[in-house]
Amino acid sequence: MTDLEAEVRRVVRGDVGFDITSRALTTMDASNYRRVPLGVVAPKDADDVAAVLEVCRARGVPVVARGGGTSIAGQATGTGVVLDFTRHMNRVLSLDPEARTAVVEPGLVLDRLQEAADPHGLLFGPDPSTHSRCTLGGMIGNNACGSHSVAWGTTADSVRELSVVTARGERLRLGRGWAGAPGGLRELVEGELALLRTGFPGLPRRISGYALDALLPERGADVARSFCGAEGTLGVLTEAVVRLVEAPRARALAVLAYPDESAAAEAAAGLLPHGPLTVEGMAADLVPSAAVLPRGGAWLFVETGGATAAEARARAEAVVRAADVVDSLVVTDPAGQRALWRIREDASGTATRMPDGTEAWPGWEDCAVPPARLGAYLREFRGLMAAHGLRGTPYGHFGDGCIHVRIDFDLMTPAGIARFRRFSEELADLVVSHGGSLSGEHGDGQARAELLPRMYGAQTVALFERAKGVWDPDDLLNPGMLVRPAPLDTNLRFSVLPREPVAVAFGYPEDGGDFSAAVRRCVGVAKCRTTSVSGPAVMCPSFRATGEEEHSTRGRARLLHEMLAGELVTDGWRSAEVRDALDLCLSCKGCRSDCPVEVDMATYKAEFLHHHYAGRRRPAAHYTMGRLPVWLRWVARLRAGRMVNALASVRLFARAAKTLGGIDPAREIPEVAGETFSRWWGRRLAEQMRRLAVEGRRPFGDGPRATVLLWPDTFTEHLSPSVGQAAVRVLEAAGIAAVLPPTLRMGTSSDGTSVRFNPLRARRGRVCCGLTYVSTGQLDHARTVMRRTLDLMAPLLETDVPVVVLEPSCAAALRTDLPELLHDDPRAARLAARVLTFAQALERLAPDWAPPSLNRPVVGQTHCHQHAVLGDAADRRLREAAGLTGELSGGCCGLAGNFGFEKGHFEVSRACAEDQLLPSVRGAANGTAVLADGYSCRTQLEQLAGVRGRHLAEVLAEGLDASESKDGRG
């Protein structure tokens, strides 16, 4: 322990972390920059803040205040002590509906304030796209704005009073007037009135520099307002009184389509007289192909409000009539509006990949010009990018003239970095020529502060330095930001990464086979830190359970980045810090779909475990649950299922088995089926053959109109054969024959038009998707198993026969892990392309089949792997056709294969289940069907809630049986 750490621990009641993990998690924000801190402190209160400042001032150690870590200019990173307010100082202290104000702490996430204000019909006006994880302190530090700034302004417009601790320990209460200002500030202002009145551009999104013009006497000497946007360089915020606004009772969203972004930009300012709540713009490059938007090449999202839904819609339709558009859409349904807003909010992540997969980065993320000049500015901006051979897709707050853009800078090579500098300098001049601001929302930080003299001139920048000296004469707070800034092309986070690709097992096809590029996907927008999740989202269950940054997708990506850098995390793949952070990753794959840049932490975890344990002894769970298919096959071969179940019911034996197997003692050992699914299928087939022989019918004709290969996954085969039996029942009712691999030979029918199966001429062996080996990082074993599977499946791969997989996790493994791990075997991609879910098979192969009419509500959970990889649209349509009503919850059940069984994971596993799944089941009415297609989900429901969840196939099969019994055919 260093003397600094010891002294901080002595005086602080909050959390202190000077360890490698704590430091690694805060080396970066959402910018291009990286700085390694000495330590991290999560203060309990203002006294803790003052104590840290006193210790650091005595030792000359810089202090950086950090909120959600989503800053895009580098101002949330530092080389000294980082103050993390999200852990303790994160409350709404009071809310006054009459005065329309709230008192908040700096670590409060914006969505928590909105939730507190909503019952009173109020809200906080500024709403950045990161509203689910950004903090009020960070918003005040950067003077954040958001999409509704055309109606409600910036954060500075919503601040009434601020409680601040200065670097020298003064506790100030800032508001309007000089009463709470630091000594010397009034004299500084009164000596420079002429400069303050002429040196600041007048536009709605001027965020760059210090807002010293707010201190003019004609503006009420608003010291609190002038503090906003200071990026933590003047003082440390400990409390804020903020203004709330009345929320519209109803909203409508007009989506206006234009040929291109320039046309949309030209039109934006003309819509402002209609009093919209938003005028947001984005182009087609940032919109998923499946997005339901009116036809066009760019869109404006114009939100209107009203006292009634009809009034809000009428205002939206008036906007449409006033606009010259290619096409338009007005949406009043709240769910439909949320879906459209998610497209816009995710742009900060999706923009980091060009349509061809090329990486793109911030740096010129949010400059702003007067709205009326936006169209002309964008044309010149495009021209400047083209002149430098750069690409990017602008989007953002068109109504305020503020543009976000990620550009495909090469920040890895000296030549690319030099071009980054030249472009930055020329773009700064272009913005200034249009009367704009270098920053229109996110602050200057290291990205733009060096260029402030081009915007303000040397005299005003010198005034900024003098103001900094009044507030922080020791330059203790966030040095290198705003005044005396670090050069914009230093401290780049990519400079520490290896230049050559690291040898890895997976193919990483979307990242050119480069693991470093895969890790670079995480740009830090931190959607994984969202705790209030509605709808089907899954990411990130472990963070929602623990609230710890190291258990978020971003936190794990940061540790992997530092592992590759080798500067802070020095033992590479053997790193205990990375291993421990990944330990609570459920491998749910939620980030693969929910993260805007599709970070796939489940794959990264498998890759890490593969290298970490290479040549070393693994945890017991890797040998037991990680090789579950082997153990269960032996149990089935020896017909020892009953004996295993009997022994598992004996407490002493079960305890010993759990201890030896690395299983948490709170878990129950699931029962093994008395008869495997394959044996049932073979027995049933033999009975059918005998009956056909008696009837004199041909046993192997061309069969029904469709045939599928039903995959006997380990869970269906050995633990839940009733699912497979039900699936066969439903598929046959729909006219689809199911056969099992690899007990088949194939030929063509007599007319040569279709594939024919002969299950009596069997090939021997067992297919396996390799899931349990992948999830535990036993990738050599996984490859062996997968290649054997491909050998056994070779005849199928010469046909177009679909493969139906009932267990979502196994289907996802075949669809993604198989081709990505065996990227050198073309057969893997062919098999992956054949994989269908149960509902997809029915929809594609029996489109005219009508399922039984069940007419009952359902609850449960869409399997996380299905959500992330396979999609559930076909399942939704099938449920609707069967009269199964209600939405399934999102999130993860928390069991996630071996995760929830492993020793030490039980509490997190249960917390994940309590997040969404268990509350939805407990609140269900009598007669509600509990759907859970995944074996893990069903096991979790049974062990934690005593509820039997069922696969959709089981529910439909039960309906078929009831229908036939009713009709007298049973």
- Show which of 844, 872, 894 is a domain's final residue: 844
pLDDT of 756 > 70? The answer is no
According to the model, what pLDDT value does residue 695 have? Answer: 77
Residue 850 is encoded by which pair of tokens?
């009508």
Provide DSSP, 382-398: HHHHHHTT--B--EEEG
Q: How far apart are CA 285 and CA 302, in angstroms?
A: 19
With beta carbons less than 8 A apart as the criterion, state whether 257 and 273 touch. Answer: no
Q: Residue 476 falls within a domain, yes or no?
A: no
CATH number, residue 31 = 3.30.43.10
Q: How far apart are CA 954 and CA 937, in angstroms?
A: 15
> pTM of the predicted model, to two decimals?
0.93
pLDDT tens string 735-750:
999 999 865 444 444 4
155 and 133 belong to one structural domain = yes
pLDDT tens string 526-555:
999 998 766 678 999 999 999 999 999 999
Please, what is the average pLDDT of the chain?
Answer: 93
With beta carbons less than 8 A apart as the criterion, state whether 733 and 964 touch. Answer: no
Nearest alpha-carbon partner for 727 in 746, 714, 705, 712: 712
Q: Residue 55 falls within a domain, yes or no?
A: yes
- Show which of 195, 230, 246 is a domain's final residue: 246
59 and 41 belong to one structural domain = yes
- Per-residue pLDDT band for 689 (boundaries 50, 70, 90) equals confident
Provide DSSP, 600-664: -HHHHHHHHHHHHTTTSPPPHHHHHTTTHHHHHHHHHHTT-HHHHHHHHTSHHHHHHHHHHHTB-
Least confident interval from 301-315, 340-354, 592-606, 864-878: 340-354
Beta strand pairing status for 736-739 and 856-860?
unpaired
- Helix-strand-coil percent breakdown of the chain, rounded to 5? 45, 15, 40
Count: domains in the chain: 6
According to the model, what pLDDT value does residue 215 have? Answer: 97
- Per-residue pLDDT band for 681 (boundaries 50, 70, 90) equals very high
The one-letter code for the residue type at 400 is D
According to the model, what pLDDT value does residue 157 have? Answer: 96
According to the model, what pLDDT value does residue 691 have? Answer: 84
701 and 612 belong to one structural domain = no
CATH number, residue 223 = 3.30.465.10
According to the model, what pLDDT value does residue 290 have? Answer: 53
256 and 233 belong to one structural domain = no
Q: Residue 508 falls within a domain, yes or no?
A: no
Residue 436 is encoded by which pair of tokens?
């704009």
Q: Residue 769 falls within a domain, yes or no?
A: yes
pLDDT tens string 236-258:
999 999 999 999 999 999 999 99
Q: Residue 490 falls within a domain, yes or no?
A: no
User: Coil, strand, or helix at residue 804?
Assistant: strand
pLDDT tens string 110-149:
999 999 999 999 999 999 989 999 999 999 999 999 999 9
Mean per-residue pLDDT, 257-285: 93
According to the model, what pLDDT value does residue 747 have? Answer: 46
Q: How far apart are CA 76 and CA 96, in angstroms?
A: 31
Q: How far apart are CA 302 and CA 76, in angstroms?
A: 32
According to the model, what pLDDT value does residue 553 have? Answer: 97
Q: Residue 837 falls within a domain, yes or no?
A: yes
- Per-residue pLDDT band for 435 (boundaries 50, 70, 90) equals very high
pLDDT tens string 616-632:
999 999 999 999 999 99
174 and 301 belong to one structural domain = no
According to the model, what pLDDT value does residue 696 have? Answer: 74
- Per-residue pLDDT band for 86 (boundaries 50, 70, 90) equals very high
635 and 673 belong to one structural domain = yes
pLDDT of 291 > 90? The answer is no
- Show which of 810, 844, 878 is a domain's final residue: 844
pLDDT tens string 223-234:
999 999 999 999
According to the model, what pLDDT value does residue 755 have? Answer: 44
Cis preceding-peptide flag for 540 (omega within 30 of 0): yes
The one-letter code for the residue type at 927 is G
pLDDT of 752 > 50? The answer is no
- Per-residue pLDDT band for 966 (boundaries 50, 70, 90) equals confident
CA within 13 Å, CB half, 376? 11
261 and 332 belong to one structural domain = yes
235 and 257 belong to one structural domain = no
According to the model, what pLDDT value does residue 688 have? Answer: 84
Radius of gyration of the CA atoms of the chain, in A: 30
Percentage of the chain exceeding pLDDT 90: 85
According to the model, what pLDDT value does residue 750 have? Answer: 43
According to the model, what pLDDT value does residue 697 have? Answer: 66
- Per-residue pLDDT band for 951 (boundaries 50, 70, 90) equals very high
Q: Residue 764 falls within a domain, yes or no?
A: yes
- Per-residue pLDDT band for 187 (boundaries 50, 70, 90) equals very high
pLDDT tens string 793-806:
998 888 899 999 99
Q: How far apart are CA 400 and CA 353, in angstroms?
A: 25
- Per-residue pLDDT band for 690 (boundaries 50, 70, 90) equals confident
According to the model, what pLDDT value does residue 704 have? Answer: 54
Mean per-residue pLDDT, 98-109: 98
pLDDT of 287 > 90? The answer is no
According to the model, what pLDDT value does residue 762 have? Answer: 42
105 and 218 belong to one structural domain = yes
pLDDT of 339 > 50? The answer is yes
Mean per-residue pLDDT, 171-180: 96
pLDDT tens string 832-877:
999 999 999 999 999 999 999 999 999 999 999 999 999 999 999 9
Mean per-residue pLDDT, 70-74: 94
According to the model, what pLDDT value does residue 573 have? Answer: 98
With beta carbons less than 8 A apart as the criterion, state whether 438 and 427 touch. Answer: no
Q: Residue 447 falls within a domain, yes or no?
A: no
Q: How far apart are CA 10 and CA 171, in angstroms?
A: 22
Mean per-residue pLDDT, 36-60: 98
Mean per-residue pLDDT, 473-482: 96
603 and 635 belong to one structural domain = no
Range of 54's domain?
Answer: 3-84
According to the model, what pLDDT value does residue 116 have? Answer: 97
According to the model, what pLDDT value does residue 41 have? Answer: 98
665 and 595 belong to one structural domain = no
Q: Give the CA distances from residue 290 to residues 286, 328, 340, 841, in Å, rounded to whole numbers and listed in that order.
A: 12, 17, 12, 21
CA end-to-end distance (rounded Å), the chain? 76
According to the model, what pLDDT value does residue 760 have? Answer: 42
- Per-residue pLDDT band for 967 (boundaries 50, 70, 90) equals low
173 and 209 belong to one structural domain = yes
According to the model, what pLDDT value does residue 754 have? Answer: 45
